[in-house]
Amino acid sequence: MKKILLSLLAITASAFLAAQTPQAINYQAIARDNDGNPIVNASISIQFKILQGELSDRVAYAETFEATTNFGGLFNLQIGRGSRLSATSHK
């Protein structure tokens, strides 16, 4: 009985440790030029900004990425793992 209880406790603890909050947001998009055509097989720069307040241009967080599009203009990245530009701390 003691072995079963310890095994059950170990399984529960390992499941709890494995279920951690992710530190990034997966993002996928198609890069397009001004005419709406996909930008294919190209290096592109992307900038994400999180703005603070309603109708505000105050940047709470910003980061940039360098990505390469595929044959259809598709690129993937993870927001939160780019090159950090700025952040405002709140207390």
Q: How many CA atoms lie within 13 A of 40 on its CB side?
A: 4
Q: How many CA atoms lie within 13 A of 14 on its CB side?
A: 6
Classify 8 as helix, strand or coil.
Answer: helix
Q: Is pLDDT larger for residue 53 or for residue 65?
A: 65
Residue 12 in this model has a pLDDT that exceeds 80: no
Query: Could you give the CA distance from residue 59 to residue 53 in angstroms, rounded to a whole number?
Result: 9
Q: Is pLDDT larger for residue 15 or for residue 44?
A: 44
Mean pLDDT of 27-47: 96
Residue 53 in this model has a pLDDT that exceeds 90: no
